[in-house]
A and B are shown apart, each in its own frame.
Chain A
Amino acid sequence: MTKFVQVFLNGLTLGSLYALIALGYTLVYGILRFINFAHSDIVTYGAWLAFVFATAIGWAGTDSPAFAMPFILLMSMAVCAAMGFTIERLAYRPLRQAPRLNVLITAIGVSLFLQNAGQLKWVFGTQPQAMPKLLSEQALFTVANVKVPIVDVWIVVLAFVLLFLLQYLVYQTRMGQAMRAVSFDERTASLMGVNVGRVISFTFMIGSALAAAGGMLYGLRYGTLLQSADAVWVLMGLKAFVAAVVGGIGNVRGAVAGAFLIASVEMFGAAYLNPQMRDVYVFGILIAVLILRPGGLLGKATVEKV
């Protein structure tokens, strides 16, 4: 029972991280219909920037002030939002009318650029670094003999707060209405007076800010930051993407549902089956969902229009 609860809580934490990242994929896909391969690198930069800011200010341990973590989180999110804006302007906007394959290749190019630029000596370097412990790892409370550390509670609570904010943004505000209109039909939305360029920029900024939050929380939870071109980051981005596809890409609630599904499959698979095969389980689910229900669990089946 203890093991089950432990695995379940781990899945809940990991699912919250995946959900934050998956939302960026799903928002961009919903509007531009392409996979933003550079999204996982924004996650990387979110984590690394948090490290850079924290060390620059000198907050290294749990003795740092209580506002340290939210402050650095906001800084990291803001810088990453600016990065998302710039990437969209420079790399993707010139290709708005190009075939999707070209945009995909450009996205891979942007991803490679960010990964390798991050490895330079004067950016983040090639050495793994320990993330400053801005949050205590003390147990906040105990469930069925499992200690729940403050970090995990922060991650889950923060993820849900951001998710509800996003939900409010997309479904209750004028900007959200514009986003949904562009997603539905870009040309018509443009004719109705929606500034499509601004909506797309905004979407990229929101997605990148969420990714930065996911990256920083990941760093706080797992402690080490690997170099920016390490496969770990790509793999994490990929699993978040898998979550978005499994839930039905373009669907905000689907991405969250998919994230928790993928995370629990990964965690329970690793705990009760073979721990080294966790990636195989995740990609197995992806292939199964794509073959059996290509629209995703909560997505609509789409018909190719000619």
Chain B
Amino acid sequence: MSTTAPVKSLAERAAAHRANVFAIIGKSAWPVAAGFVFAYVMQMVVAPGVGDFYGKLMLDVGIAILAGLALNIVNGYAGQFSIGHAGFMAVGGYVAAGIVYYGSIKLWGSRDIHGGFLGPGELLLLAGCVIGGLFAAAAGVLVGLPSLRLRGDYLAIVTLGFGEIVRVLLQQTDDVILDPKKVEAASPLELADNLGGALGFFGSPRYLDPKNPFWIWLFVVVVLIVSYRLKYSSKGRQLLAVRENEVAAEAVGVPTTRVKVSAFVTSAFFAGIGGGLYAHELGNSLRPADLGFQKSIDLVIIVVLGGMGSMTGVVVAATALTILPEVFREFSEYRMIFYALALILMMILRPKGLFGLKELWELSIWRKVFGRRRA
């Protein structure tokens, strides 16, 4: 019929579909801007007002939310079960700590905190965290690739093995170099072998303290917005399709392999950033055992209890599970027993978690409260 219409070449058609570069920059800029504003408010208004104890608690909550949301991408959206996510945190944490510690000495001659709020030291921290995230993402490719062949529990074992291998390898590293002159002389490759071993990486400057929570909240907001967009985008729908039924998803044309690996990479990236922030928070020790199996299980508990696939569920669970142990300090030996029972009962009574796949604003309780009343 339409022989008169000009026939477009394939290249032309592709060009029409190609996204505008400037639009992408704009779209990715505003989460950062929003995070900046929120983190600035937290830094300037909230942090001075709450005192050191609650300030530290809020830092821990922030990192738990960050890491929980990262795991939620793999575990909640894609339905791939990872119980080695602390391994990604360890990769990010150690890379960031190495960059910040040795970087400070190489750049400024001392390992102290350098510059104030948004000063050069904090920019080095930012760079360290992002590079740590990239390293973790590379590890995510390594772990994600076997997931092409493995399902469910096998994948869980591989991720667990990954976390253990990371821990063992970190324990093999030598002591941290304390002498600035030796650091100046050493090459980056040599420094990468001096990460503290089993005793842990100590001495890295602690930029994040109760008065200075800026970077944590910046990344929390960024991950929240990324999670939100992912969940309601076509990419997120693909992930959810894989989660619900991988064979059916493949049958309707979802590239399951690529989708799963990309979920792993994204998740590992943010977990790595979470690890980098963890490494620079006041009062945390960075030992291979601190970011081991137990931490992975903590993250799994957050995601499972909150609701696999629910961002607000993860936020609520991360907040509650960080604050509750502080409240019930006397019963600390019963804490894990309680969590374990909660996990078992949740699976038997409410298998989808507290919120399921739904977000806070999607819960049916609102319809009951605010819905139209029958006459």
Mind listing 26 A-B residue pairs with CB under 8 Å?
A: A35-B156, A35-B157, A91-B344, A91-B348, A95-B347, A102-B351, A105-B300, A105-B343, A106-B343, A106-B344, A108-B300, A109-B347, A110-B340, A112-B337, A112-B340, A113-B341, A116-B336, A120-B337, A238-B157, A276-B171, A283-B165, A287-B158, A290-B146, A290-B150, A291-B149, A294-B150
Q: CA separation between A101 and B152, bound complex, in Å?
A: 7
The yes or no answer to A279 lying at the interface (CB within 8 A) is: yes
Q: CA separation between A286 and B168, bound complex, in Å?
A: 16
Chain A proximity of B154: nearest CB distance (Å): 6
Q: CA separation between A242 and B153, bound complex, in Å?
A: 12
Chain B proximity of A33: nearest CB distance (Å): 9
Chain B proximity of A75: nearest CB distance (Å): 26
Residues of chain A within 8 A (CB-CB) of B96 are: none
10 A-B pairs closest in CB distance: A109-B343, A113-B340, A283-B161, A112-B340, A116-B336, A109-B344, A106-B347, A35-B153, A116-B337, A94-B348
Q: What is the 8 Å Cβ interface bit string for chain A, positions 266-288, against chain B (1 contact, 0 not)?
A: 00000000001101100100110
Query: What bracket does the count of chain B residues touching chain A fall in?
Result: 35 or more
Check B149–A290 contact: CB distance below 8 A: yes
The yes or no answer to B339 lying at the interface (CB within 8 A) is: yes
Check A245–B152 contact: CB distance below 8 A: no
Check A283–B344 contact: CB distance below 8 A: no
The yes or no answer to A100 lying at the interface (CB within 8 A) is: yes
Q: Which of B169, B300, B304 contacts A280 (CB 8 A)?
A: B169
The yes or no answer to A175 lying at the interface (CB within 8 A) is: no
The yes or no answer to A34 lying at the interface (CB within 8 A) is: yes
Residues of chain A within 8 A (CB-CB) of B161 are: 238, 242, 283, 286-287
Residues of chain A within 8 A (CB-CB) of B321 are: none
Chain A contacts with B in 163-203, Cβ cutoff 8 A:
none
Q: What is the 8 Å Cβ interface bit string for chain B, positions 160-194, against chain A (1 contact, 0 not)?
A: 11101100110110000000000000000000000
Q: CA separation between A245 and B161, bound complex, in Å?
A: 13
Residues of chain B within 8 A (CB-CB) of A245 are: 154, 157
Number of residues of chain A lying within 8 A (CB) of chain B: 45
The yes or no answer to B293 lying at the interface (CB within 8 A) is: yes
Check A277–B168 contact: CB distance below 8 A: yes
Check A280–B165 contact: CB distance below 8 A: yes
Which residue of B is nearest A278, CB measured? B168
Please give the residue numbers on chain B whose beta carbons come within 8 Å of chain A beta carbons, in ascending order.
79, 81, 83, 146, 149-150, 152-154, 156-158, 160-162, 164-165, 168-169, 171-172, 247, 289, 292-293, 297, 300, 304, 333, 336-337, 339-344, 347-348, 351
Residues of chain A within 8 A (CB-CB) of B247 are: 304, 306
Interface of A is mostly: helix
Residues of chain A within 8 A (CB-CB) of B304 are: 105
Q: Which of A101, A109, A241 contacts B340 (CB 8 A)?
A: A109
Q: CA separation between A280 and B333, bound complex, in Å?
A: 32
Q: CA separation between A95 and B343, bound complex, in Å?
A: 13
The yes or no answer to A78 lying at the interface (CB within 8 A) is: no
The yes or no answer to A98 lying at the interface (CB within 8 A) is: yes
Chain A proximity of B300: nearest CB distance (Å): 7
Check B165–A279 contact: CB distance below 8 A: yes
Check A101–B149 contact: CB distance below 8 A: no
Which residue of B is nearest A93, CB measured? B348
Check A113–B152 contact: CB distance below 8 A: no
Check A119–B333 contact: CB distance below 8 A: yes
Residues of chain B within 8 A (CB-CB) of A99 are: 351
Residues of chain A within 8 A (CB-CB) of B168 are: 276-277, 279-280
The yes or no answer to A231 lying at the interface (CB within 8 A) is: yes
Which residue of B is nearest A279, CB measured? B168
Q: Which of B81, B154, B156, B337 contacts A117 (CB 8 A)?
A: B337
Chain A proximity of B162: nearest CB distance (Å): 8
Q: CA separation between A304 and B153, bound complex, in Å?
A: 15
The yes or no answer to A74 lying at the interface (CB within 8 A) is: no
Check A283–B164 contact: CB distance below 8 A: yes
Instruction: Apart from A108-B297, A290-B146, list 5 A-B contacts with CB within 8 A.
Output: A95-B347, A106-B343, A112-B336, A276-B168, A280-B169
Which residue of B is nearest A283, CB measured? B161
Which residue of A is nearest B352, CB measured? A102
Chain A proximity of B231: nearest CB distance (Å): 19
Check B81–A238 contact: CB distance below 8 A: no
Check B297–A112 contact: CB distance below 8 A: yes
Q: CA separation between A291 and B146, bound complex, in Å?
A: 7
Check B153–A34 contact: CB distance below 8 A: yes
Q: CA separation between A283 and B146, bound complex, in Å?
A: 13
Check B153–A104 contact: CB distance below 8 A: yes
Chain B proximity of A44: nearest CB distance (Å): 15
The yes or no answer to A234 lying at the interface (CB within 8 A) is: yes
Residues of chain B within 8 A (CB-CB) of A105 are: 300, 304, 343, 347
Q: CA separation between A235 and B157, bound complex, in Å?
A: 12
Check B351–A98 contact: CB distance below 8 A: yes
Residues of chain A within 8 A (CB-CB) of B150 are: 290, 294
Residues of chain A within 8 A (CB-CB) of B351 are: 98-99, 102
Which residue of A is nearest B156, CB measured? A104
Residues of chain B within 8 A (CB-CB) of A101 are: 79, 81, 152
Q: CA separation between A290 and B162, bound complex, in Å?
A: 14
Check A110–B347 contact: CB distance below 8 A: no
Q: CA separation between A223 and B158, bound complex, in Å?
A: 31
Residues of chain A within 8 A (CB-CB) of B342 are: 109
Given A91-B344, A95-B347, A286-B157, CB of A100 within 8 Å of CB of B152: yes
Q: CA separation between A235 and B156, bound complex, in Å?
A: 14
Given A35-B153, A116-B337, CB of A235 within 8 Å of CB of B79: no
Q: CA separation between A38 and B342, bound complex, in Å?
A: 16
Check B154–A290 contact: CB distance below 8 A: yes
Residues of chain A within 8 A (CB-CB) of B343 are: 105-106, 108-109, 112
Q: Which of B83, B154, B162, B172 contacts A276 (CB 8 A)?
A: B172
Which residue of A is nearest B335, CB measured? A116
Q: CA separation between A91 and B343, bound complex, in Å?
A: 11
Chain A proximity of B122: nearest CB distance (Å): 35
Check A106–B337 contact: CB distance below 8 A: no
Q: CA separation between A116 and B293, bound complex, in Å?
A: 14
Q: CA separation between A112 and B339, bound complex, in Å?
A: 8
